[in-house]
Amino acid sequence: MHADTIRYLILPGWQNSGPDHWQTHWEQLLPNSARVQQADWQAPKRGAWVQVLDDAVAASEHPAILIAHSLGCITVAHWAAQAGTAALAKVRGALLVAPADVERPNCPTALAGFAPIARQPLPFPSLLVGSDNDPAASAPRALELARAWGSEAGVLAGAGHINAKAGYHHWEQGFAYLYRLQTRLRQRAA
């Protein structure tokens, strides 16, 4: 699978990914990549976010790999649970990083509309990367979501929410997870 035949769709979470966030750096480095731009990053609405993702997948001339962070992961799960067959067929896989547990007791009110979390297995290969000290989702919760979605899972030690605040600016090591996912996709296609 050559990078020029894939569209990398980058899905930030609540409040978007700022200039120092790894998703922003990846968007600049990965060929044929684009950020899925939400109309409202501060007061997200599940239906609107899912529709914007659906539109981005439909507009892509190439098969897509989704690279989601935080609430973006939950958006992917909701989208996959309701998307049509043609749209789902355009997505080759998803890298899901630091999913936000929108069902947790201390969840910000702005994210409440994304609960309950869609738990259907994703119809494409996925790899979930969580952290053992993520305030948005505990490691056991991240692993529970990975099982529900049929995702391969990994848990980083002391990585927080795997964002710029936690020191993940360029996150070169993260490319190893993307490479691992793409290797699975190549093997699946062979």
The answer to whether the peptide bond before residue 12 is cis (omega within 30 degrees of 0) is no
Integer Cα distance of 38 and 15 in angstroms: 10
Distance of alpha carbon 180 from alpha carbon 172, whole angstroms: 14
Q: What are the distances in angstroms from CA 86 to CA 42, 58, 80, 91?
A: 31, 9, 12, 9
Residue 1: its pLDDT value, please? 43
Q: What is the mean pLDDT of the chain?
A: 96
Domain region containing 166: 3-189
Number of domains in the chain: 1
Reported as a single tens digit per residue, the pLDDT across 167-187 is 999 999 999 999 999 999 999
CATH at 65:
3.40.50.1820
Report how far residue 82's alpha carbon sits from residue 94's, in angstroms, rounded to the nearest whole number. Answer: 16
**Is residue 107 packed enough to be buried (19+ CB in 10 Å), middle (13-18) or exposed (0-12)?**
middle
Query: Please, which pLDDT band fits residue 189 given cuts at 50, 70 and 90?
Result: confident
